[in-house]
Structure 1
């Protein structure tokens, strides 16, 4: 009998009620003896979808990875994600994360840099032997992607191909590690490389959410204030948008955010982004057709839908 594909909202429940308690408990035990436990734990405790560790657990089960290395891998990748969030919020000047004060607001900029670095060390120490080199490659990719993001934010001639390259590294490197690490640790090839089309779809959904009062933030338009060259900005290719993107964040008004939103609507840039997102998600899910008909395969399909249907 073919197991039914879990709906996207059911996957969200699985992530928050099963994955998060298991992985968070593992992380808390790992850092509880550290003298700065409260700071190391702060960003983890604020919440999050736990999509990345959930993906690690699913791929691990498909590969037959043992319980201990499976949890080590899931916790390590969640900590890598956490360290990147602390640094991202500091760089972007975002003051709220998941409806709580961003780490740098709570503890200061010096601590944000240093505790982020400590989390990176903890994360890499948890990666099982045999997987550390690929984890280091992922961290390198994240840093390259962040640098590309900086560079693109100074330009008005960014192409969609350049945007996709930036996303491949900044967003995709860690998500790709969720797929590759369990396979490397078990010397397995699941043949689902095409699933990585989901990573840019995930980022495009994030771009769209910036105008939907989501992302656990207090206001819309944070990407505009940060000068981000999102897919919509690239598609609209309007100097009025770039004039606003190039302003200092503190000087960008709510009225200017509304102006950018209106231009994106007039140029059908929101619709274009949704179409690209849906096309990439379809490509990703097609790559799973070669997998055996198992509950893990159906949950991976639902996870893909969750990435593009999510409201935060």
Structure 2
């Protein structure tokens, strides 16, 4: 048996991906203007607020790993897909910098968010700079890939806009919330897989199959992430327990529960739309009501179904059996996290 026959675990793939992407990612960020470079380095976990090196959590880098493996599925190499992997990681972190400002989140990856350290406006500018840098990385590669990424970013922005609009509404329907998640999360995960396949030399049909695989995985990921936003262990999520409920977010399980016609749904609507902050007891009660409505089980069932459907696209995408097995394992890890 050769090394090429050995399928790595999802954790091993993430470690391999991080090691491969980190040097070109650091080289790209070094090109940023000095005014935002330190903020980006802090957000990425490379430095403290004074610029000193640190070993802070830089995130799992799921999207770059998907790009690298997608190249292998279509018969290419991970090295070919490095520009794609760097670009999607830059875009993802652009979105996180902006999300933290818009949501008012003060903790990410177990430490203060960039905006809470450097201010909201500098953090927004740092996010803007990461987005432009992502397009520069693709332009430097010589591949006609910027349009694919730009389209995904437009969908991401549209999804984030819908998410913000939900905060001002009391009548959000589950199907609206699903569409929002398809754009806000699914689009970039789909683009990560599609870009990897494109850089790996994949045919148009293979690129499309992997895009559809990624979009399904991305939506499943959002269902699970929203569960973590309510019941996640702070040691895993880096955020306080019940953080989404505290912020009155209209997440997928919450919207499903708010639309429930039973007693638990009615009580949750009264609690969620009540003026003033929710106490710890209120938050615990809200979480119990969401689960009593069946929304917790519904969300996990939807995630499982989306993953099964996505896998059919992966099987049809290409001959790279080892890469496909590892891509499938990575998708399952992302959608079955502890919660």
Contact 2:73 2:320 in 1 (8 A): no
Q: 1:221 to 1:179 in 2, by over 3 A?
A: same
User: In structure 1, what is the equivalent of residue 282 of structure 2?
Assistant: 256
C-alpha separation between the residues in 2 aligned to 1:232 and 1:117?
Answer: 31
**1:168 is the counterpart of 2:194:** no
C-alpha separation between the residues in 1 aligned to 2:187 and 2:211?
Answer: 13
Contact 1:56 1:70 in 2 (8 A): yes
Q: 1:243 to 1:90 in 2, by over 3 A?
A: farther
**1:227 is the counterpart of 2:248:** yes
**1:98 is the counterpart of 2:118:** no
C-alpha separation between the residues in 1 aligned to 2:42 and 2:211?
Answer: 34
Deviation at 1:246, TM superposition (A): 4.2
C-alpha separation between the residues in 2 aligned to 1:67 and 1:267?
Answer: 44
Q: 1:69 to 1:295 in 2, by over 3 A?
A: closer
Instruction: From 271, 289, 293, give the equivalent of 1:267.
Output: 293
Instruction: From 123, 128, 132, give the equivalent of 2:134.
Output: 123
Query: What pairs up with 1:1-312 in 2 under 5 angstroms?
Result: 6=8, 10-15=9-14, 17-34=15-32, 35=34, 36-45=36-45, 46-65=57-76, 69-127=80-138, 128=141, 129-185=143-199, 186=201, 188=203, 189-190=205-206, 191-192=209-210, 194-195=212-213, 196-210=215-229, 211-214=231-234, 216-237=237-258, 238-246=265-273, 251-290=277-316, 291-292=318-319, 294-311=321-338
Q: 1:130 to 1:236 in 2, by over 3 A?
A: same
Deviation at 1:289, TM superposition (A): 2.6
C-alpha separation between the residues in 2 aligned to 1:67 and 1:284?
Answer: 22
| Structure 1 unaligned blocks of 5 or more | none
C-alpha separation between the residues in 1 aligned to 2:113 and 2:336?
Answer: 25
Deviation at 1:243, TM superposition (A): 4.2
C-alpha separation between the residues in 2 aligned to 1:134 and 1:66?
Answer: 20
Alpha-carbon RMSD across the aligned residues, in angstroms, is: 2.4
Deviation at 1:29, TM superposition (A): 1.5
Contact 1:12 1:49 in 2 (8 A): no
C-alpha separation between the residues in 1 aligned to 2:269 and 2:7?
Answer: 43
Task: Give SS of 1:155's match.
Answer: coil
C-alpha separation between the residues in 1 aligned to 2:38 and 2:82?
Answer: 22
Contact 1:227 1:247 in 2 (8 A): no
Deviation at 1:269, TM superposition (A): 1.7
State which drifts further: 31-40 or 121-130. Answer: 31-40
| Structure 2 unaligned blocks of 5 or more | 46-56, 259-264
Deviation at 1:226, TM superposition (A): 2.4
